[in-house]
Structure 1
Amino acid sequence: MDAKKVYLKVYNLSMVVGWTFILITYFLKALETGFDAPLMYPHVRIALMIFQYGAILEIFHAITGLVPSPLGTTITQVFSRVVLVAVLEYIPESRALGFLLLGCAWSVTEVIRYSFYSFKLFGLPVPYPLLWCRYSFFIVLYPMGVSGEVITLFKSLPYFRTVTVFGLFPVSYIIWALILYYIPGLYMLYTYMLSQRKKVLGKKNENKPVEALNKKEN
């Protein structure tokens, strides 16, 4: 049995389980607390750190060619989220509206994405509803997630103004650079997914059976 494929199966199934737990917990605690972000966060913090930091492996997957993901978009998405998880963990003031937005966007996106990958890895036909969600939900979830991330970073700026890089300049300068990078970063991710959506769900595929789409999308 191919060790690489076994590893990818285990990795993706673990991510499906982890993000499903985060998604369910997020919404249950949102209803229980009346969408009170500071009260919701402690219930998902450990799982959020484990499974978001676990996504760092995807950079190595792309570098080594284990998966055909574009390296630039992978680094952009993973790096920004790792920074956000650290901000949420160490700066309690950042757990507000931004967390509500990014928590919803991340968890829904990742459950869909890793479920999609798992079907492909096990050689199973991807159900059309999952295929459609994979290439449609991002239209709303990407802007929602980015909005939440930017709001969270803004909330962290007062703290980072008091921390310097080797006494040279405040870390807040780096945070501002990251915020500004969201403009080209979101454009890159969004246009990539739009092109993939057109390729998979475009008019030329409207009359093709789901099995044909599954073969086409690797």
Structure 2
Amino acid sequence: MSGKKSYLLAYNGISTLLWSYILYNNIIDLSNGFFSYKLNEGIPHKFIIITQLINSSFEIFHSVVRLVPSPLATLFLQSFARLIIMIGICFVIPESPANFNLYIFSGLIFAWSITEIIRYGFYFLKLWQKNVPFALVWLRYSAFFVLYPLGLICESITVYDSYSVIEKRLPLYSKFLKFALPLYLPGFLYLYNYMIKQRRKVLRNEKQKLL
């Protein structure tokens, strides 16, 4: 096994486990009816912040050095939207009520974590045994029909619900968000159309293999 393959196997396997842990904690929080942290405990959603920062940094690096064929523009768009939440809201304004909205923020976590568990799990199996079960291939290129809109709605509401706090504390940042928030829709449409095109190509190839 080559060093590149071993590295990517480890990266995708660890990422799958990290997002599985995030999803598990989110399910526990929902069943309890509250998030497991309190405002006076500091920055909320620390584990997700760190995980997303690591993933974003590594994947942009992978794309730049051509370790993987992922388009850089797509990675930037996806990372930009998530980091507005993770850094721009959870880290910069931890007191924002949006960080404590159990159902909206849990919806956001569900959309992100399930997407990443499927994606990293798919890449791990593809590297490990090449022939990925068709069910997982279908899920990898179909789950986004539901998960992407869910993420868009929850991310937008989270930013909107934080705006009054940002406007009082960070006026300059509030102006940035006024510019950034309308970009969610065109960015979403770009990613959504990209995934639809990928789905057509991949599923067509998979069906040809079955013939």
| TM-score, normalised by the number of residues in structure 2 | 0.86
Q: What corresponds to 2:190 in structure 1?
A: 188
Amino acid at match of 1:11: Y
SS in 1 for 2:53: helix
**What's the CA shift string for 1:5-27, capped at 9, x where partnerless?**
22222111110110011112211
**Does residue 108 of the first structure (1) align with residue 114 of the second (2)?**
yes
Paired position in structure 1 for 2:47: 47
User: Is 1:62 the counterpart of 2:63 in the alignment?
Assistant: yes
Structure 1 residue runs of 4 or more that deviate by more than 6 Å after TM superposition:
none
Shift of 1:207: 5.5
Q: 2:178 aligns with which of 176, 179, 188?
A: 176
Indicate the residue corresponding to 1:17 in structure 2: 17
Q: CA deviation at 1:3?
A: 2.7
- Give the corresponding residue for 2:85: 84
Aligned-pair identity in percent equals 36
Q: Aligned equivalents of 2:104 and 2:183: distance in 1?
A: 18
Relative contact order higher in (CA < 8 Å, ≥ 6 apart): 2
Structure 1 residue 69, shift from structure 2 partner: 0.3
Q: Distance in 2 between matches of 1:40 and 1:182?
A: 29
Query: Structure 1 residues 150 and 13, CA, compared in 2 at 3 Å: closer, same or farther?
Result: same
Q: 1:24-173, aligned counterparts within 5 Å?
A: 24-33=24-33, 36=34, 39-40=35-36, 45-56=45-56, 57-86=58-87, 87-89=89-91, 90-95=94-99, 96=101, 97-164=103-170, 170-173=172-175
TM-score (norm 1): 0.83
Distance of 2:46 and 2:166 partners within structure 1: 23
- Structure 2 portions without partners, runs of 5+: 39-43
- How far apart, in 1, do the equivalents of 2:2 and 2:209 lie? 31
Instruction: Note closer, same or farther for the CA distance 1:207–1:6 as it changes in structure 2 (3 Å cut).
Output: closer
Between the two proteins, the alignment pairs up a number of residues equal to: 200
Which residue identity is paired with 2:98?
Answer: S
How far apart are the structure 2 equivalents of 1:98 and 1:140?
Answer: 15
For the aligned residue pairs, the C-alpha RMSD in angstroms reads 2.1
- 1:200 is matched with 202
Q: CA deviation at 1:104?
A: 0.9
Long gaps (5+) in structure 1? 213-218
Distance in structure 1 (CA, Å) of the matches to 2:201 and 2:150: 24
Between the aligned partners of 1:200 and 1:145, the Cα distance in structure 2 is 23
Query: What secondary structure is seen at the aligned counterpart in 1 of 2:209?
Result: coil
